[in-house]
Amino acid sequence: MTRWNLPLDHLPSAWYNVLPRLDTPLGPPLHPGTREPVGPDDLALLFPMALIAQEMSPEPWVDIPGEVLDILRLWRPTPLVRATRLEAALGTSARVYYKDESVSPAGSHKPNTAVPQAFYNRQEGVSRLATETGAGQWGTALAFACAQFDLECMVYMVRTSFEAKPYRKTMMEVWGGHVVPSPVEDPTHPGSLGEAITDAVRDAAGRPDTHYALGSVLNHVLLHQTVIGLEARDQFGLAGERLPDVVIAPCGGGSNLGGLALPYYEDTDVRLVAVEPSSCPTLTEGTFEYDFGDTGGMTPLLPMYTLGHDFIPPPIHAGGLRYHGDSPIISQLVRDGRMEAVAYPQGKVFDAAVLFARTEGKVPAPEAAHGIRAAVDEALAAKETGEERVILFNFCGHGHLDLAAYDDYLNGRLLD
Ligand SMILES: *Cc1c(COP(=O)(O)O)cnc(C)c1O
């Protein structure tokens, strides 16, 4: 057996909330003007009350609404796969498993939170959502979710990606989304996630029918993603394993990593590993401090590892990992020593991506390939010592719309 599927009725019915279980409670978000803790009313301009409550929820479990479960069931539970052909190519004594989040309609983990976010906004009478997207994954996920709930979807897309990835725009438009390049006010600027967040927040704050949706970083986003780790725990039982020794995922804002890793938070023997690009080394080289989520200084300040809100990362191919900050939850785990962080240059990442594609068959998103690189290195380290290490990583998205990056790699044009 190399693949374990859960029956449809084994989809988790509640999200795992790490907030009340954290050893060190998170500092509150601070108002960008007064620098006082923000209250629910400050956030109500941008988010529905249900999500604001989840952002600060003390409940250890949060029920998933039935309408959300119905949509998640279009592709969930996702498979757990053992990468035996990759193991053989590495000659490792490790057992390597991955959770395949690439099977969603948008091709990544992002619909896991796009769907509940659209649902709660719709429930509170909002008719339009504004958001930003880097590589286009979040924009496609939100456009899909908005189509399910008859919401308008306005996407500000980082200009370099808008120009380099026209098919992502088409995908958003197929689901009825509207897409414009960001920053809207400066057509010569390559853009960044921080800039695009400024555009989207300005849009949402200026229209009573519109809310803002964020695809990562915030506590409620990580909460929604915990279906990944909860399913993986069940599937590990089916696979005859108890717990993984190490859980690995790429980290941009921290949502797919949180989704897979947080349900293992209380299993203190399980190592948790964040993987980031060395060109945007937030966790490995940033400082832990309060910083804005956007470039324009319009969002609340969050306690997190950051490279500074005006940091513009070089245009590496893993667009989803080019964010200056990080989830406060992930940042706190790294600060407390519960989670490790590693950084890789993109050449080594694509070496692992191509090895994975040639053994396991699937072509990873460049973001996902960061996790694969770290999983391969864990498997090689286990080979050195002859250990039976059990490795679990998140295959958080496929790379079918990232083939230009593979073309660069295969033709020697990839810059580290
Ligand atoms: C958006 C994205 C990421 C980075 O975001 P996180 O919130 O850190 O998960 C990673 N991988 C894929 C495939 C993505 O689409």
Q: How far is the CA of 364 from the centre of ligand 1 (A)?
A: 12
Q: How far is the CA of 252 from the centre of ligand 1 (A)?
A: 6
Q: How far is the CA of 367 from the centre of ligand 1 (A)?
A: 6
Domain edges within the chain:
72-108+220-410, 111-214
pLDDT of residue 156: 97
Q: What angle do CA 166, 105, 82 make, to 5 degrees?
A: 110
The predicted-structure confidence for 192-202, as pLDDT tens digits, reads as follows 888 899 999 99
The predicted-structure confidence for 27-57, as pLDDT tens digits, reads as follows 999 999 999 999 998 899 999 999 999 999 9
Is 72-108+220-410 CATH 3.40.50.150?
Answer: no
Best substitution site from 110, 112, 222, 223 to test ligand 1's pocket, by max atoms within 8 Å of Cβ? 110
Residue 5 CB burial class (10 angstroms; 0-12, 13-18, ≥19): middle
Mean pLDDT score, 71-90: 98
Residue 289 has pLDDT above 90, yes or no: yes
User: Is 252's C-beta closer than 6 angstroms to any atom of ligand 1?
Assistant: yes
350: Cα separation from own chain's centroid? 19
User: Is 256's C-beta closer than 6 angstroms to any atom of ligand 1?
Assistant: yes
User: Is 216's C-beta closer than 6 angstroms to any atom of ligand 1?
Assistant: yes
pLDDT of residue 160: 87
pLDDT of residue 342: 98
Residue 231 has pLDDT above 90, yes or no: yes
Sheet architecture: strand order including 339-344: 3-4, 80-82, 95-100, 390-395, 246-250, 271-277, 339-344
The predicted-structure confidence for 200-230, as pLDDT tens digits, reads as follows 999 999 999 999 999 999 999 999 999 999 9
Distance, CA of 289 to CA of 170 (rounded, Å)? 38
Q: How far is CA 217 from CA 119, 145, 176, 416, in A?
A: 19, 19, 25, 26
pLDDT of residue 142: 98
Looking at 243-365, list the stretches that DSSP marks H as alpha helix, in order from N- to C-terminal side: 255-261, 282-285, 328-335, 346-360
The predicted-structure confidence for 5-19, as pLDDT tens digits, reads as follows 999 999 999 999 999
Return the ligand 1 atom nearest residue 107 CA. 13
Strand boundaries in 183-279, DSSP class E: 210-212, 246-250, 271-277
Q: How far is the CA of 389 from the centre of ligand 1 (A)?
A: 26
Nearest CA to ligand 1 atom 2: 320
The predicted-structure confidence for 153-185, as pLDDT tens digits, reads as follows 999 999 988 998 899 999 999 999 999 999 999
DSSP type of residue 120: H
- Res. 135 pLDDT band, cuts 50 70 90: confident
Distance, CA of 390 to CA of 165 (rounded, Å)? 36
Residue 373 structure tokens: 């690189």
Q: How many CB atoms lie within 10 A of CB 408?
A: 15
Nearest CA to 251 among 315, 341, 337? 341
Mean pLDDT score, 298-314: 92
Distance, CA of 223 to CA of 226 (rounded, Å)? 6
Q: For the domain with range 111-214, which CATH number is right: 3.40.5.90, 3.30.410.40, 3.40.50.1100, 3.20.20.140?
A: 3.40.50.1100
Q: What is the tally of helices (H) and strands (E) in the chain? A: 17, 15
Mean pLDDT score, 60-68: 98
User: Is 255's C-beta closer than 6 angstroms to any atom of ligand 1?
Assistant: yes
User: Is 366's C-beta closer than 6 angstroms to any atom of ligand 1?
Assistant: no
pTM, two decimals, is 0.97
Residue 371 CB burial class (10 angstroms; 0-12, 13-18, ≥19): buried
Topology alike, domains 72-108+220-410 and 111-214: yes
